[in-house]
Structure formats: structure tokens, C-alpha cells
Structure 1
């Protein structure tokens, strides 16, 4: 009788997360609409794909929104299991393991309407001031080039203000993200121009610390669930919802 009472008492006082299913993946990410959204009914395109891929394999994700540099650090130190939207880079491969890609980002140069700006390789950026985001994994050759200035900011909003004030010649942004930002901030997309040739086309992955004890289990579950979504056509359906 005493044993039963003790078990019941223990269940009642355990913290809520201790009573959750075993197959919970703790995820972290900054807000990056429309891929990850921190308000309203929609959670974001990347969030939905990842959540459904894990669900196919019996896992549930619990996401926390934090600034990007902190989010990546929390995954590297295993305070969280995975980051949701990560590009591969030589620097990150030292600390992180990556899933199969689930989306592709097109990084483009954005200028003010009517500005004379063309991109045909890094040599075409001579003496240009390019707005970039701090902590993002741009191509190594882009980061090492010395013939132009990389002007770092913590947000796209700051880079847009710099562009309008002509403090930079162009900014670099994911094309879908930029369109979403302009639309949701009631700005006119016709005030801007997309340069035809992208800087890069980057596959998007989830990432987990190389030292995580369940690294292989979590990545295998996600990859299997992702394959099922791709074969069913569900990925295309989710993309359509965020157009």
C-alpha cells in the first residue's frame, strides 16, 4: 500500500517534461519566416516539414525560439537536440552532423530599384559594400574574398534600412524570406530588384552535435520520415501553403 502511494505521489510531483513521451526531440531556432514563425497560427514551412517527418517515425518536436547565434551554440553544447534550419559549412562540420536536405535556399543579391548592380562572380563585386547577416554560413570563398566589404548586421531589417539609406550597395538574403519580410511589413516589393545570378543555392538541413549520444538515432528517424513525405507528395503540399 505504501509503495503504491509513493509511486502516485512521485507521478504527481514530477515536472511536466518528465512525463512526456520518450521520443521527444528538443529543437531550437531563431525566427526565420516563412521557414520558422513565432506568431499566429502557422509555425513555418521548415517547422512543418520537420515536425511531420519526425511524427511519421513516432517522434514529437518541442521548439524554442532564440537568436540564431545562441541557438547554434545551444545545439553544439547539447542543451537542445537539433537546430531546424542549418546550412553546411567546413567550420560547422567540425562540430555538427547534418540530416539529408529537406529544402533549398537561394541566396540572392537585392538592390534598390534602378541601381546599377550586376553579379557574375566574386570579381564583379570590386569595391562594393555588401550587407550580410552575422553568424550565417556563407561560402568560404565569399567570406575570404578581399575585393569588397562585407557589412555585418544582426537582422534583415537592419540591412534593408542600410540599403534604403545607401550605406550598402546590395544585401544578401534568401529570396523567399525577403519576399515574406517585405509583404508582412507592408513594404513595396517593386522598390527592390533581385539580381539574376544567385550567390549560392544552399541545401537546408537539421543539425545535431557530433557528440550527442542519440545523434544516429535522431538523424535516421528524420531521414526516414522525410523520405516518406517526399514520396507521398506532402512536401510540395506544404510548400504551396507558404507561397
Structure 2
């Protein structure tokens, strides 16, 4: 009996180690404050939400902040299990599985304070206005395909805001939270001189992408989606967004 236990222990240990490894996920994302940023609490808003949901689903996580191209390639190759911030993209279905949306991005036009420019979902009405767009940013398909718009490529929204203030462009495009984050760290005059328009260009859902190299990718997605639904129901998601405190869990 003693010999049997000794022989069984290594097998049990290896089984437990394999299970622990299966329950651990390597997360990746590129710097995109306030959503992903290792200098912010929880490594950013999106990272904190994703970690919380995956923890609720029974997974431990480790996060790596890497450039976007490296993060995408790493998920495709299986070096990372989860990309924490993606919009739905059919091409990525070849190497990853998308979750349902866990957050909504409001992509807004921004203008100089006092400008009379408005946006009522008619892109053709903006054809005479130079619009600052960040290089490599995926805006709405309608905007990307519009050939009659004056799109001015810029490095980032901070640069776009400066150009708005001095009149080099009439509009800029940026996610609402990102724009407010950038302006909050800008000199006070700029904060007071740049404002968003009310009507969004687009409101894509933010999702995670799980590598198809994970044999349990479907289970991870199902667990994540279920956890996000429960976080919405009990107020945890709203609390992470700073909207209201979470309700205490009901007594067993």
C-alpha cells in the first residue's frame, strides 16, 4: 500500500499542476489609457474588469503590457491566452474567439470650444472640415471608407487637441474616455478649449479575444460572459466604472 501511494503521488502532483496551469491565463494588451495602462490602478479600467470577470469564472491571470502588434501575434501563436481589448473583427476569428461586449466605446468628434460644427450622423456634412485621426486607429467602417473627408493623420489625441486649439484642424476623433483622460493631463487652457460633440460616430462593444490555441477557449468565453452578466446584475461592473457602489452579495 505504501509503495502504491509513493508511485501515485507523482501522478497526482502532475495532474494538479496541469489543472493549475489550465486555470491560469496569460493576458496581454497594449497601452491605451484609461483602459490599459500599468501605471493606473488595476492596470487600467478594461484590464481590471477583465481580471475581475475571469477571477469570478475561476481563472487566475497574469498581465503583460506589450505593443499592439506583439499582443495580437502572441495570441495568434498561443504565447498569450487573452487579448483584453478588441472590437469585433471577423478576420481575427481565424485565430481567436471573441467574447460578448463587456464595455461600450463611444467614438466622438471633438471640436474647439465655441465652434458651431455639429454632427448628426451625416458624414457628408463634414466634408469641408479637416479631421484629425490617430494613425492605426480602427474607426467605423463608414468613416474609414468615406473618400470625401479631409482626414489628417496624427500621432495621438494629445497632438490632435493641440491642433484643434491653434486651428490647424476643425475636428478630431477619439474615444470619450480616452479623450477625457488625455485632456485631464493637459495644461488647463487646453482642457477648457476642447469639447466633444454629443452624437457619437460609433459605439462599438469592447470584448476579449481568447486564443484558439487554448483547447478550452470556448469554456473561457462562456465563463467570462457569464461572469460579466453577474457583475452587471450585482453592481460590480458599475462600481469598477465608478458609477455606483456594488451591492453586497446576498447571504448564503
- TM-score, length basis structure 2: 0.79
Instruction: Find the counterpart in structure 2 of residue 98 from structure 1.
Output: 98
Distance 1:202 1:41, change over 3 A: closer
Instruction: Find the counterpart in structure 2 of residue 25 from structure 1.
Output: 25
Q: CA deviation at 1:160?
A: 2.4
* 1:164 counterpart SS class: helix
Q: What are the residue-to-residue correspondences of 1:144-223 with 2, within 5 Å? A: 144-187=145-188, 188-210=190-212, 212-223=214-225
Structure scoring higher RCO (CA < 8 A, sep ≥ 6) equals 1
Instruction: Find the counterpart in structure 2 of residue 46 from structure 1.
Output: 46
Structure 2 Cα separation of the partners of residues 210 and 141 of structure 1: 30
The structure whose Rg is larger is 2
Instruction: Find the counterpart in structure 2 of residue 65 from structure 1.
Output: 65
Q: Which runs of 5+ in 1 are unaligned?
A: 12-17
Deviates more, 1:137-146 or 1:35-44: 35-44
Alignment coverage as a number of residue pairs: 230
User: Can you list the C-alpha shifts for 1:115-155, whole angstroms capped at 9, x where unaligned?
Assistant: 23221211112133222223333221211111113233342
Distance 1:157 1:222, change over 3 A: same
Distance 1:163 1:208, change over 3 A: farther
Instruction: Find the counterpart in structure 2 of residue 239 from structure 1.
Output: 241
Contact 2:24 2:60 in 1 (8 A): yes
User: Can you list the C-alpha shifts for 1:200-239, whole angstroms capped at 9, x where unaligned?
Assistant: 1111111134555332122122112222212221111111
Q: What are the residue-to-residue correspondences of 1:130-145 with 2, within 5 Å? A: 130-145=131-146
Q: CA deviation at 1:90?
A: 4.4
Tell me whether 1:125 sits opposite 2:123 in the alignment: no
Distance 1:80 1:42, change over 3 A: closer
Contact 2:158 2:183 in 1 (8 A): no
Q: CA deviation at 1:189?
A: 2.6
* 1:200 counterpart SS class: coil
- TM-score, length basis structure 1: 0.81
Distance 1:117 1:91, change over 3 A: farther
* 2:62 counterpart SS class: strand
Structure 2 Cα separation of the partners of residues 74 and 131 of structure 1: 31
